[in-house]
Chains A and B, each alone.
Chain A
Amino acid sequence: MKAKNEPGMTLIVKTITRLTVGLILLYGIYIVSHGHLSPGGGFAGGVIIALSFVHLMLAFGKDVALKKLSMSFAGLLESMGAVMFLSIALLGFMGGYFFLNFFSKKGLPFHLFSAGIIPFCNIAICLKVGAGLFAIFVSLVLLYKTDE
């Protein structure tokens, strides 16, 4: 059932989305933060986080999703992700080398707070990939050519 002129999909989809979208977002964050311990990482997690917003857009229409994360903010996040990745790499010069893993020599297996710069790199990649994918999806939606 769908009221007339209401954007998005039917009530069933909207209800399910309301329940699952948070879980998808959380799962994405989990994948990113455990990138150095388990399969996955910044890229995969970033894609999942972007998909949670895409999901929102599919179910509720583009305005709801764009209110949560606007196009220009996504663009800013994407650039910030890249700048962050580059500055992490630059911080390696503290130890003398570009991209040096400067604050821990050895990671501890199965410990969340280990592996030095790798979790931070994952977060930067997640910002870049997630915001980038979302921006690509939004541009495909907004720049859709109509026959008018």
Chain B
Amino acid sequence: MTVVPFFIIVSLGAAFLISVFGKHYKRSSDYLANSACFILLALSLYTLNLICKTPNHILVYRVGGWIPPIGISMVIDCLTPFMLITVNLVAFLIAIYSINYMERYTDKWKFYTLFMLMLAGMNGIIITGDIFNLFVFLEIAAISSYALVAFGTEAEELEASFKYAVMGSVGSSFILLGIAILYSYTSTLNMADMAKAITQKGPAKILPFVSVLFLMGFGLKAALVPFHAWLPDAHPSAPAPISAMLSGVLIKVLGIYALSRIFFNVFGMSQAVSRIFIILAIASMVVGSILAFGQSDIKRLFAYSSISQIGYIVLGLAIGTPLSIMGGLFHLFNHSIFKSLLFLNSGVIEHSIGTRDLKKMSGILYKMPVTGYTTLIGALSICGIPPLGGFWSKLIIIFACIQANHPVLALIAIFVSILTLAYYFKAVTPALFGREDGQDYKSFRKKASWAMNASMIALATLSIISGLMLVPNLGAGLLKDATSVLANGISYANLVFEALK
């Protein structure tokens, strides 16, 4: 029980300790950040164990000993450990990768400070049970990500960061406005209490308005298609570990997790909202993959592919049957693994070949076998080649579409999956397999260090074996319980109040 606030304490504490010591003791930032990430990962696994033993699968922590809805609460239900494990696993592997990768930037400790702040924001969003607290953590994560995108301080990076900051702030102000209106309507900020008040008051005209505000705000953070313009600039400009962090977990926690928490557990999913979500999801899937076709910049290609894959996740969640929600959540996990892997690979490639242009690359598989093969695994997984993880989650989403009587959606999902295969094939294959005459591949010197290789191999292994999560007794329980939290909708409020008794 006491373990709950430590997700915030460890990450915030590490961030500020790094900013005190990092400047004077060069190695201290590496040690502090990596050990903090490791502790966070261990804590998330412990929380999973804890929640399985709790009778109702829900824990409510009262911050400062105040009873919710007066005080702030932190809620751990079955969805929370799933998200916490996803975020902290990816963050831990990225922190290991950053030890060597970030050497080429000055002021590495500033990077780690911002990195830990971003992690604190994301962990906070996941565990909080208070909607204003959610906004505060969202801003912590978002503002540190603005700074991290501009970390290289080149003109291109500053421009991307400025664009991201302006659009992100607009999104945040929509969210804040929505929260303010909701507060005036329900007179509470606690999410469970809010859900209760909304059910008691019955349908009101203010709710669709707030829904639209949240849809714009969180949709912008999630980079759903009409709001996606910041992503293809911001993700390629950031340093590779941050691109991996942004694409792997930030857009999912800030966007999709917050969106689904509010729409499923506080408002209750309605037919109209679900239809809007489906339209946005289809638009993201199709537009993202079509735009990815023309890209020759490796990171930009991955960024557009993120938009397209986010569409899959939202589609899964929006259809709303337990099977489709499970597919969506599973794809969320898979995508965070293989997309962060691909971005880390792109960092190594950029570092050793000196360019991000896919047309100028060839024979990566022979020059750097580890990077080459892990890229191949990531790309195959994102394309949905069996038996890699991405295949299973896409398969579940497509089955769920058919099961829910949406054969057209299933066809579109299959079509986009083929498009994904096509643009990865077109772009990545020549870079990996292409041979140029007269090049000596064996003696290629600039290889990745062992720590970078280790984190890439770990992510690749995870994306190979993540299909095992569907096996009963291994991970299916976790996925199923996480799904049930969203599928049960507004009964979340009752569970929270029962846990408080």
**A residues bordering B, Cβ < 8 Å?**
72, 75-76, 78-80, 82-83, 86, 89-90, 92-93, 95-101
On whether A86 and B9 interact (CB within 8 A), knowing A75-B19, A79-B19, A79-B20, the answer reads yes
Inter-subunit contact A93/B2 (CB<8 Å): yes
B20 and A83 form a contact (CB under 8 A): yes
Quick check: A83 and B16 within 8 Å, CB to CB? Answer: yes
For the complex, give the distance between the alpha carbons of A86 and B19 in Å: 14
B476 is an interface residue with CB less than 8 A from chain A:
no
Cβ B9 vs Cβ A100 within 8 A: no
**Chain A contacts for B17, CB-based, 8 A:** 83
Write the nearest CB–CB distance from B354 to chain A, whole angstroms.
Answer: 29
Task: Select the residue from A79, A80, A82, A93 with max chain B CB neighbours within 10 A.
Answer: A79
- Interface set, chain B 10-35, CB cutoff 8 A to A: 12-13, 16-17, 19-20, 23
- The reply to whether A86 and B13 contact each other, CB–CB distance below 8 Å, is yes
| Any A CB within 8 A of the CB of B477 | no
Task: Report yes or no: B9 in contact with A97, Cβ–Cβ below 8 A.
Answer: no
Q: Mark B226-257, 1 if CB is under 8 A from A, else 0.
A: 00000000000000000000000000000000
A80 touches B13 (CB 8 A): no
A90 to B64, CA, bound (A): 10
Pairwise interchain contact B19-A97, C-beta atoms closer than 8 A:
no
Name the contact of A98 in the complex, choosing from B13, B19, B64 (C-beta under 8 A). B64
Kindly name the residue among A76, A95, A99 whose own CB sees the greatest number of chain B CB atoms within 10 A.
A99
From DSSP, what is the main secondary structure of chain A's interface residues?
Answer: helix
Best-buried of B5, B16, B61 by chain A (most CB within 10 Å): B16
Q: B13–A92 contact, CB under 8 A?
A: no
What A residues does B62 contact at CB under 8 A? 97
Interchain CB contact under 8 A, A76 and B20: yes
The 9 residue pairs across chains A and B that have the minimum distance between CB atoms: A98-B5, A99-B64, A97-B65, A82-B16, A79-B19, A79-B20, A83-B16, A100-B65, A99-B63
Decide: A101 near B13, CB < 8 A? Known: A76-B20, A93-B2.
Answer: no
Once the chains bind, are B65 and A95 in contact (CB under 8 Å)? yes
List B residues 58-101 near A (Cβ within 8 Å).
61-65
Q: Are B9 and A80 in contact (CB under 8 A)?
A: no
B13 near A83 (CB under 8 angstroms)? yes
Interface of B is mostly: helix
CB distance from A83 to the nearest CB of B (A): 5
- A100 engages B64 (CB within 8 Å): yes
Contacts of B63 on A, CB cut-off 8 Å?
Answer: 97-99
Can you identify 17 A-B contacts, CB atoms within 8 angstroms?
A75-B23, A79-B19, A80-B20, A82-B19, A86-B9, A86-B12, A86-B13, A86-B16, A90-B9, A92-B65, A95-B65, A96-B2, A96-B65, A97-B62, A97-B63, A99-B63, A100-B65
Give chain A nearest CB distance to B74 CB in angstroms: 9
Assembled-state Cα–Cα distance A119/B360 (Å): 61
Inter-subunit contact B64/A97 (CB<8 Å): yes
The one of A75, A95, A98 that contacts B9, using a Cβ cutoff of 8 Å: A98
What's the least CB distance linking B120 to chain A, in Å? 10
Q: How far is the CA of A95 from the CA of B65 in the complex (A)?
A: 9
By beta carbon, the residue of chain A nearest B64 is A99
> What residue of chain B has the Cβ atom nearest to residue A93's Cβ?
B2
Q: Which chain A residues lie closer than 8 Å to B5 at the CB level?
A: 98-99
Of all chain A residues, the one with the shortest Cβ separation from B71 is A99
Given contacts A82-B12, A83-B20, A90-B9, 11 further A-B contacts (CB under 8 A): A78-B19, A79-B16, A80-B20, A82-B16, A82-B19, A92-B65, A98-B2, A98-B9, A98-B61, A98-B64, A99-B63
Across-interface contacts of B64 in A (CB, < 8 A) = 92, 97-101
Query: From residue A66, how far is it (CB to closest CB) to chain B in Å?
Result: 18
Bound CA span A82–B19, Å:
10
Separation in Å of the A70 CB from the closest CB of chain B? 13
Name the A residues within 8 Å of B23 (CB-CB).
72, 75
Q: Which residues of B contact A72 (CB under 8 A)?
A: 23
Residue of chain A at shortest CB distance from B2: A93
- Cα A133 to Cα B200 in complex, Å, equals 45
A89 vs B61: C-alpha distance when bound (angstroms): 15
**When chains A and B are docked, how far (Å) is the Cα of A75 from the Cα of B23?**
10
Give the CA-CA distance A97 to B2 in the complex, in Å: 8
Report chain A residues within 8 Å CB of B2: 93, 96, 98
Which residues on B sit within 8 Å (CB–CB) of A100?
Answer: 64-65
Give the complex CA separation of A98 and B23 in angstroms: 30
Residues of B within 8 A of A79 (CB): 16, 19-20
Cβ–Cβ < 8 Å partners of A93 in chain B: 2
Q: Provide the residues of chain A in CB contact with B19, threshold 8 Å.
A: 75, 78-79, 82
Residues in A with CB closer than 8 Å to B12 are 82, 86
Complex: A76 Cα to B20 Cα, angstroms: 6
A141 to chain B, nearest CB (A): 18
A86→B16 CA distance, assembly (Å): 9
A50 to chain B, nearest CB (A): 18
> Chain B residues near A89 (CB, 8 Å)?
9
Residue of A nearest to B5 (CB): A98
Minimum CB distance partner of A97 in chain B: B65
A101 to B64, CA, bound (A): 7
